[in-house]
Amino acid sequence: MNKMKIECMAHLENESFIRTSVMAFLLPLNLSVEDCMEIKTMLAEAVVNAMIHGYDGNENGIVKVEVNYDEREIEIIVEDNGCGINDISLAMQPLYTSKQHLERSGMGMTIMQTFADDFHIDSEKGKGTSVRLCKKINYENETIK
C-alpha cells in the first residue's frame, strides 16, 4: 500500500494543485486515460464542493485530501471542517444545489457517485464533511477476481 496526504487552504486556485499532485502520485499505476479522467473529475468535484459548500466561501478553511492505493484499488478521502450538509439525501439528488446564485449545476454528487466504484459521504452539521471515493484498478488484458 502507498499513501499521501495534502492539506490546502480552501482557495479555489488550490484545486488544480491538489488534482495535479494526486495524479502525479498515482502515475506508477499506469492508469488508462479513461480512469485518469474519471479520477480527476471525481476529485475536482469533491474538492470544489468542500471549498464552496463546506466553507461557504470562507477561504480560511482547510481542505484535506488523503489518497491510498494498492495493486487493486485507489481510495480518495476529501475532508473539510466546515458547516456540514443539512440533508445528505437532498444533496445527493441530481440538479440540487444550495448555491443557485453561483450558477452551480447540482451534479457534483451524481458525477462522483457515477465514476466511483464505491462512494460514501459522512457529514455533521457544524463539524464538516468527509467524502470517500474508491476506484478499482482495471489492468488491460486481466480479469480482476
Which residue of the set 49, 86, 124, 138 is catalytic?
A: 49
CA dihedral for 51, 36, 77, 18, sign (positive or negative): negative
Which residue of the set 104, 132, 141, 142 is catalytic?
A: 104
Which residue of the set 19, 45, 79, 81 is catalytic?
A: 45
Q: How far apart are CA 92 and CA 60, in angstroms?
A: 26
Among this protein's residues, is 104 annotated catalytic?
yes
Would you call 13 helix, strand, or coil by DSSP? coil
CA dihedral for 13, 91, 112, 73, sign (positive or negative): positive
Among this protein's residues, is 45 annotated catalytic?
yes
Among this protein's residues, is 49 annotated catalytic?
yes
The catalytic residue positions are 45, 49, 104
